A and B are shown apart, each in its own frame.
Chain A
Amino acid sequence: EAQVTQNPRYLITVTGKKLTVTCSQNMNHEYMSWYRQDPGLGLRQIYYSMNVEVTDKGDVPEGYKVSRKEKRNFPLILESPSPNQTSLYFCASTGTSGGTDTQYFGPGTRLTVL
């Protein structure tokens, strides 16, 4: 089954404690991205990756890092989380289906930073 997986699904942590949210896709897609979703603000792109070792900033990259060492994995790293990073995070990968590009989203990671 084609899917995007994220772990953990829920995480409560404290300010300053480094964390990593993993993302993996099994569709051999080149393009992957991370979003955060906040009430009233919708989904905002944090970082994206066009391929292995190619990453770039989205709209809200401050406080986040990413890496793309393998095609299937695109982890999101918070080196020193702060309470304003409390949010719902989605990983997505983009592939072509029926002649059009389609984004496939993971199930989300709800992060709380105390």
Chain B
Amino acid sequence: QKEVEQDPGPLSVPEGAIVSLNCTYSNSAFQYFMWYRQYSRKGPELLMYTYSSGNKEDGRFTAQVDKSSKYISLFIRDSQPSDSATYLCAMDSSYKLIFGSGTRLLVRP
């Protein structure tokens, strides 16, 4: 079993939809939870960063962490075609990041 599981998609939604992206994990020692966005032919870039449980909002993006269920989510409101990318969750208990395999999102105009 992988330490971090993520549905690869692709997930196709119409413009303006609310998108929900999720990851589950098995290591209860993880304290830091991140979402990276990766456009085609580019390196990942940090999108959201959350420490421990709770919610964090940044514009159209909301990150949720439920440590009791070992489950994290990224919500995108009013999705735009420019949000089309691969979204990777990542978790960190020290300097090492463990990544999910990524979910490919396509937002149709």
Instruction: Identify the A interface with B (CB < 8 A).
Output: 4, 31, 35, 40-45, 48, 50, 58, 90, 92, 94, 100-103, 105-108
A-side interface mostly: strand
**A94 CA / B95 CA spacing, docked (Å):** 9
Instruction: Identify the B interface with A (CB < 8 A).
Output: 4, 6, 8, 32, 41-46, 49, 51, 88, 90, 92, 95-97, 99-102
Contact between B96 and A45 (Cβ–Cβ < 8 Å)? yes
> A45, A50, A90: which contacts B44 (Cβ < 8 A)?
A90
Contact between B43 and A42 (Cβ–Cβ < 8 Å)? no
Extra pairs beyond A42-B4, A107-B43 (10, CB < 8 Å): A42-B6, A42-B88, A42-B102, A43-B99, A45-B97, A48-B95, A48-B96, A90-B43, A92-B43, A108-B42
> B8, B41, B49, B51: which contacts A108 (Cβ < 8 A)?
B41
Closest approach, in angstroms, between the C-beta of A61 and any C-beta of chain B? 13
**A27 CA / B46 CA spacing, docked (Å):** 16
Known: A42-B102, A43-B88. A108 touches B43 (CB 8 A): yes
Closest approach, in angstroms, between the C-beta of B10 and any C-beta of chain A? 13
Contacts of B88 in A (CB 8 A): 42-43
Q: A106: nearest residue on chain B (CB-CB)? A: B43
Contact between B8 and A103 (Cβ–Cβ < 8 Å)? no
Closest approach, in angstroms, between the C-beta of A89 and any C-beta of chain B? 10
Pairs across A and B, CB under 8 Å, 20 listed:
A31-B95, A35-B99, A42-B4, A42-B6, A42-B99, A43-B44, A43-B88, A43-B97, A48-B96, A90-B43, A90-B44, A100-B51, A101-B92, A102-B49, A103-B46, A103-B97, A105-B44, A107-B42, A107-B43, A108-B43
**A58 CA / B98 CA spacing, docked (Å):** 11
Q: A110: nearest residue on chain B (CB-CB)? A: B41
Q: B96: nearest residue on chain A (CB-CB)? A: A45
Contact between A40 and B8 (Cβ–Cβ < 8 Å)? yes
